[in-house]
Amino acid sequence: MKSFFNDSLVKVQASNKHLDMEPLIRASMVVSQRIYTETKDESLRKIFAQTGLSIKSCKILSDRIREKVGLFIDFCEGYGKQELILELIVESLVDLNEMTGSKNISYNEGFEDYNLILGWINLMSIPALATEFTNEDDVEKVAEYIDKKFVYRLSWGANAFTKIAAYEMGMELEDLPIFFKYISSMIKFGVNTHYASWAMSLGIHSRNLAHRIGTKFKEDKGEIEDFSEFVEWFKNLNAEKIGLLGQLETSALENRVLKLDVNTLPEFDKVITKIKKEGMVTRIKGFEYEDRLKNFEQLLDGQNLYLKRDYQNTHDIDAIKIYYKDKELGFITRELAKILAPQIDFGLNFRATLESKSNKTIKIE
């Protein structure tokens, strides 16, 4: 710990101001020891590190999941209702430090976050949600609350919940039921199927239209969990197919859906296909900041790295950080993050290796 701080920017700043580093070093050692003592399971510590939540919040969440693990296992085996699982997820998350914000709303008697979020993912409009569940006259206030609490915080929390729950149930993420795997995206986008989440991630801005697209895809293809097949199907949407999805108000809207959204997909599809087949080399961004260059010193070309969503990044909602063990190296490019972030949110994992230490590039597979 002492050597880490002695090589850090903090040490330089402290020296410039003639400050004693020892209290900080001692406090950091106490915190590190407490984290190790409280979470001795190395596998669980690694999962905690992937969530973006504090160790304290992870432990609270893990304990709450463990208390109800039988219900979650029953659900994975085909018993129980989605509504109950959603309620348990929300109850487990709402009071965690990372999930609370400065602005709250007043609910009608008998209603709480769970009711609002259930209406949200079941496609109720924001004015209808405000009237049905809240005591707020200002619809914009309810919209802001949903954006901050559900779209940002609880979708992040649900992603963390899924990772920890899989561990507590002794399951791999890919073996979880679809609802578990995609609940984070459903909360984020306000839809109730993973197909609709896929449509929203590709640029459809209307929740109802995304739902109709998802329904049409399921009719055409059946129960499928292959996102690349959805992308291929989506690319081939035309005016006739769009018309079958429901009543669109104008041909202008039809053109907007086709031109704005579908024509952006070739590049998206090209990137995903390239990564799956042969991998993609990309530059690390931001490595020159926050003393990250120090973290490159012990690295060799070919070493394994890992990618982690930066859910707390206020500048880029799709931000993805690059790590070597617990050492931060930088970010993948904003353009690539926009493509990969939805995939990571959907539970897809990408493997990363250091392609060139001197050129600050990584290979993603």
Classify residue 296 by burial, with Cβ atoms within 10 Å: 0-12, 13-18, 19+.
middle
Q: Name the more confident of 136 and 39.
A: 136
User: Which amino acid appears at position 197 of this protein?
Assistant: S
Give the pLDDT confidence of 299-345 residue by residue, as tens digits.
Answer: 888 888 888 888 777 778 788 999 888 788 999 988 888 888 877 77
Q: How far apart are CA 236 and CA 251, in angstroms?
A: 18
360: left (phi over 0), alpha (psi -120 to 50) or beta: left
- Nearest alpha-carbon partner for 2 in 21, 16, 20: 21
Q: How confident is the model at residue 256 (pLDDT cuts 50, 70, 90)?
A: very low
DSSP string, 332-352: --HHHHHHHHHHHHTT----E
Q: How confident is the model at residue 225 (pLDDT cuts 50, 70, 90)?
A: confident
pLDDT at 349 over 60: yes
pTM: 0.70
Strand, helix or coil for residue 360: coil
Q: How confident is the model at residue 40 (pLDDT cuts 50, 70, 90)?
A: low
- Nearest alpha-carbon partner for 312 in 28, 54, 9: 54
Backbone phi, then psi, for 327, in 5-degree steps?
A: -100, 125
The answer to whether residues 25 and 5 touch, using CB atoms and an 8 Å cutoff, is yes
Q: Encoding tokens for residue 165? A: 């729950």
pLDDT at 11 over 80: no
232: left (phi over 0), alpha (psi -120 to 50) or beta: alpha
Give the pLDDT confidence of 165-179 residue by residue, as tens digits.
Answer: 999 999 988 889 999
